[in-house]
Amino acid sequence: ETGVTQSPTHLIKTRGQQVTLRCSSQSGHNTVSWYQQALGQGPQFIFQYYREEENGRGNFPPRFSGLQFPNYSSELNVNALELDDSALYLCASSYLGGAGNYGYTFGSGTRLTVV
């Protein structure tokens, strides 16, 4: 098992800038999900990528976008950053098969601060 690696671990950006966060997928997994966790709150689902396509999206505006690559790693892009985007961004890889989504493995997160 390689686990899930997120980069960078910490990031400070200015309001209005754009940011790209990265997430590797655990070996054998085919799905990556992204979550935003504000301080003191539970994670909120942003979107999920399966086989390089978006496979569900939470209540986040279009300036949150993503990509999944052939090796199942993924990027989260946020344009026109707002102060409220400051949060911990978590990704999780899993295996989506006929019987459902299994083996959720989480990364350590990227803490984004928007100033």
Q: Which residues bind another protein (CB under 8 A)?
A: 33, 35, 37, 40-45, 48, 56, 58, 88, 90, 92, 96, 100-102, 104-109, 111
DSSP β-bridge partners for residue 108: none
Cβ at position 85, least distance to another protein in Å:
16
Distance CA 94, CA 1 (A): 13
91 near 4, Cβ under 8 Å?
A: yes
Closer CB to another protein, residue 16 or residue 56?
56
Q: Which amino acid is it at 28?
A: G
| Beta carbon nearer to another protein, 20 or 37 | 37
Residues sharing a CB contact under 8 Å with residue 40, sequence separation 6 or more, in sequence order? none
Smallest separation, CB 45 to another protein (Å): 6
